[in-house]
Amino acid sequence: MSDADLFSRLALLRNVSLFAQLSDEKLRPVAQVAESRHWEAGEAICRQGEAGTALYIVREGRMEVRVAKSGELEAGDLGAAVATLEKGQIFGEVALLDGSPRSASVIALEDAETLQISDGALDELLDIYPEIATGIIAGLVEYLRR
């Protein structure tokens, strides 16, 4: 990873609520394990009901959050649009942190890019840097207060 890419990742992560309480020193390993991923317009990044194996941060483009009723979910319907996500917004963190199935589907509205942190990478980070967990908890508390 180039220095410019690392700097870009750090700048993005600094503004994500989940990581906002972390210093640059603690953000650096997070930025290093995050995988950049490109999505084509119309591509499903995650689907409601699936296991959560990663969290995502929108790096470029726009994405749509869709929620289906339980009967529609079985029929493959992605449901109704409930929100739009843009650069710097995070999704997939709840299913990743608590192990529950995804509560919504997310579709790329246009060609887009995300940073993706897998559950395994996050677990390894927390084992090596337990203080990151404290920062994440502080970020979650701040999010809940808002």
Res. 18: pLDDT tops 70: yes
Res. 139: pLDDT tops 80: no
How many residues are recorded in the chain? 146
Quick: pLDDT tens for 95-138.
777 888 898 999 999 999 999 999 899 888 888 888 777 777 77
What is the distance between the alpha carbons of residues 90 and 72, in angstroms, rounded to a whole number? 25
In the chain, what are the domains? 3-145 (2.60.120.10)
Quote the distance between the C-alpha of residue 121 and its chain's center: 13
pLDDT of residue 16: 85
pLDDT of residue 143: 66
pLDDT of residue 71: 66
pLDDT of residue 31: 94
